[in-house]
Structure 1
Amino acid sequence: MIASMTGFSRHAVTLDAGVFDWELKSVNHRYLELRVHLPDHLRSLEAAVRNRLKARLARGKVDVVLRDRGQAEESPAAFDHDRVRVLADACAEIAGMLPQPAPVSPLDVLRWPGVLQGREDAGEALAAPLLAGFDTALEALVEMRAAEGAALADGMRARLDALLEHRRAIQARRQPMLEEQRSRILARIHELDLNLDPRRLEQEVALLAQRMDIAEELDRIEGHVAAVRETLDGNGPGGRRLDFLMQEFNREANTISSKSHDLEMTRATVEMKVLIEQLREQVQNLE
């Protein structure tokens, strides 16, 4: 079934190393744009996260955030004492070489690579459980997008039914409008008292009526409706195809409007354009 491009999901992963929160959010976009925000010590997971997203999603701007809430009972002394002493000696030596050295904060020392023990290989150690948690969050996002897509598709089907109703109203007025236009043309020629060859006159009137006929446009609208229904009932993304069909709907409606010389037909065409615009807005949300 077709899916929406908007959705949100969140999933928490509780491990011995702490609590990690996955948060996924997607909105409309012409293509698939991924923005992945991971803690520095878990940056090695980014490639796997991107591959999983590309395998499940086709379009949309997707933001992925992994928050490390840390471990409440983590010992503050879990750092490499020898490395800290080396850093402290180096800082003291450098401070003696500068006229006005800025003080070094203990937090600056803790941020130095290798000071906190086990941070470098945290991504490898936590990869499997964290990616399993990401898969859960991604599945929830996909399900939400599918549910919203199904609701949008139902709304579009209702508008397609209304569109066909207006098409039938226009179809009912098509032949009477052509006959009325033919009568007006002939009456105008008689008023001008033109001496024209009857056969040539009939040919010209027939050609004019052919240019004013909207049978092809009505047939194409019916075909476009069938194509939209087929896309909505199909599997996989169909937003791009639907966007193209909305352009075709507009083209046919505009042509009918330009050929229309009947008030009732003009009103029905206006209602068709309103429905087409509503359909177009819904299509913008579909994958």
Structure 2
Amino acid sequence: MPHSMTGYARLEANVAEGVLTWEVRTVNHRYLELSLRLPEEFRPLQSKARQQVQQKLKRGKVDANLFFQKNLTADQSMVIDDAVLQQLNGARQQLMADKDACLEPTWLEILRWPGMIRESSIDLEKLETEVVQLLDRTLQQLADARAREGEQLAQTISQRGQQLKQQVDDVQSHLPSARTAIEEKLKMRLRDIAAEFDSQRFEQETVYLLQKMDVAEELDRLNVHIGEVDKTLAGDEPVGRRLDFLMQELNREANTLASKSQDHVTTAAAVEAKVLIEQMREQVQNLE
């Protein structure tokens, strides 16, 4: 099933230490471009989270953010920073060596020193499973949203493809009468400019010019490409790149059809075909 490259998902999980939140949003991009942001204490999990996202998503610009709101009511022990304490003690000894120094600081003053007391770090090993599982669920929610939009895009592309096929069918049904009209027109022109041609040479020139103006091959290739579009949309793999290539091929054949056209029916169909192909291409740009 085709997936859109545009999507958004956000999920929360309550844990003893607080609230974990994963937020993932994606937009169109030619390749997979991942921006992953985690709180400082969760940075060791960044590589694993990146692998999780890359396994689920193949194309698109992805912004994935982990938020953590600590539970203020949870039991959080206070820790004295030994490095800061040692630095402060060294400064104290230098000051005490000076007879004119001020009085020795109290313990309360020491504890109030910036950076002296910090909260104990979270138990990352304990939270890792929660973070990983929550990201999995968030990515699944994102995949579901992208699948729903992808289905709508696929329906639109398929509808435009059927309209394009109708244009091709109209030209094919008109082809015999168009060939007859072109042949008569060519004969009249050739008689005017080359009355001295013998009948055999005249027929050869007529056939040659008719072949140059024949659009049957272009119509056949258009039908083949339309069939490939439907086949691709029915597949399970990412379809964006394949469909983008098919849009280029369809556009090439439509341009050739327009350049060879010698009557208003074919010209009108070629113009409408190019409009439909452009509408399909715009939708294809959104597919993974």
* TM-score, structure 1 as length reference: 0.88
- Aligned residues, how many? 273
Q: What CA distance in whole angstroms lies between the structure 1 residues aligned with 2:76 and 2:17?
A: 14
Matched with 1:102 is: none
Deviation, structure 1 residue 169: 1.2
Matched with 1:103 is: none
Sort the Cα spacing of 1:94 and 1:228 in 2 relative to 1 into closer, same or farther, 3 A.
Answer: farther
CA-atom RMSD in angstroms: 2.4
Q: What CA distance in whole angstroms lies between the structure 2 residues aligned with 1:193 and 1:147?
A: 64
Matched with 1:134 is: 135
Deviation, structure 1 residue 80: 2.4
Q: What CA distance in whole angstroms lies between the structure 1 residues aligned with 2:90 and 2:205?
A: 99
- Whether the 8 Å CA contact 1:80–1:117 is kept in 2: the answer is no
1:70-106, CA deviations, whole angstroms, 9 ceiling, x for partnerless residues? 22225786232545423544677899xxxxxxxxxx7
Please, which moves more after superposition, 51-60 or 219-228? 51-60
Deviation, structure 1 residue 172: 2.0
Matched with 1:33 is: 33
- Counterparts of 1:155-234 in structure 2 under 5 Å? 155-192=156-193, 194-234=195-235
* TM-score, structure 2 as length reference: 0.88
Other structure's SS at 1:69 match: strand
Other structure's SS at 1:109 match: coil
Other structure's SS at 1:13 match: strand
Q: Establish whether residue 7 from structure 1 lines up as the match of residue 7 from structure 2.
A: yes
Q: What CA distance in whole angstroms lies between the structure 2 residues aligned with 1:253 and 1:8?
A: 37
- Counterparts of 1:1-287 in structure 2 under 5 Å? 1-74=1-74, 78-80=78-80, 82-89=82-89, 109=115, 115-119=118-122, 122-192=123-193, 194-287=195-288
Other structure's SS at 1:33 match: strand
Matched with 1:98 is: none
Counterpart residue identity of residue 250, structure 1: N
Matched with 1:99 is: none
Q: What CA distance in whole angstroms lies between the structure 1 residues aligned with 2:83 and 2:194?
A: 109
Q: What CA distance in whole angstroms lies between the structure 1 residues aligned with 2:21 and 2:63?
A: 14
Sort the Cα spacing of 1:90 and 1:145 in 2 relative to 1 into closer, same or farther, 3 A.
Answer: farther
Deviation, structure 1 residue 64: 0.5
Answer with 1 or 2: which has the greater Rg.
Answer: 2
Percent of residue pairs bearing the same amino acid type: 39
Q: What CA distance in whole angstroms lies between the structure 2 residues aligned with 1:187 and 1:225?
A: 38
Moved over 3 A (4+): 74-77, 81-84, 87-95
1:201-242, CA deviations, whole angstroms, 9 ceiling, x for partnerless residues? 101110110111011110011111110101101111011000
